[in-house]
């Protein structure tokens, strides 16, 4: 084996990079930097149907200066029913039609409170409870409407 390696009859040194076809790599500055980004996807909102959210839906920080939001932290929301129903209707397009028993795992009360009780960080636990309470209020309000 040593003699074969010395003679190099059946052994060849590997050349790096393998599969090199003598093409230089793409340069970021030449090929990608000058390309304009694609236009953002936006829903076409109907001014009559979506009137509760039409004015502020695409704002950078919507409802900051209104009583609906408590300050700039966005920690607490107090939205009225027409706004919540519009947001729910628009948000339903993001939901899957596939019904999976594990899909609602986080919003199953028993499973959710099991997670909350096992969480040791008190701030994290408070955030989990807040998220669940907001979600359950929205679902409850929408179920009343429909």
Q: What is the pLDDT of residue 89?
A: 87
pLDDT in tens, 114-129: 655 665 555 555 556 6
* β-bridge partners, 77: 69
Q: Span 95-112, mean pLDDT?
A: 63
Q: What is the pLDDT of residue 124?
A: 57
Q: Span 51-73, mean pLDDT?
A: 83
- What is the DSSP track for 62-88? TTTTSTTB-GGG---B---HHHHHHHH
Q: Span 72-101, mean pLDDT?
A: 80
Give the largest CA-CA distance in the chain. 87
Residue 24 has pLDDT above 80, yes or no: no
Q: How confident is the model at residue 9 (pLDDT cuts 50, 70, 90)?
A: low
The closest of 2, 141, 5 to 77, measured between CA atoms, is 141
How many residues does the structure list for the chain? 146
| Range among 83-92, 96-105, 114-123 with highest mean pLDDT value | 83-92
Q: Give residues with Cβ within 8 angstroms of 61, minimum separation 6.
A: 72
């Amino acid at each position: 084996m040593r003699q074969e390696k010395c003679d190099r009859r059946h052994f060849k040194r590997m050349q790096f990079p393998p599969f090199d076809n003598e093409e230089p790599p793409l340069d970021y500055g030449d090929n990608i930097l000058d390309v304009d980004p694609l236009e953002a996807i936006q829903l076409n909102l109907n001014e009559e149907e979506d009137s509760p959210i039409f004015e502020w839906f695409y704002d950078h920080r919507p409802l900051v200066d209104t009583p609906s939001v408590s300050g700039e932290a966005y920690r607490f929301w107090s939205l009225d029913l027409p706004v919540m129903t519009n947001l729910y209707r628009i948000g339903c397009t993001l939901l899957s039609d596939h019904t999976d028993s594990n899909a609602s795992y986080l919003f199953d009360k028993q499973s959710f409170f099991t997670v909350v009780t096992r969480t040791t960080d008190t701030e994290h636990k408070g955030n989990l409870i807040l998220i669940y309470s907001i979600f359950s209020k929205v679902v409850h309000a929408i179920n009343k409407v429909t």
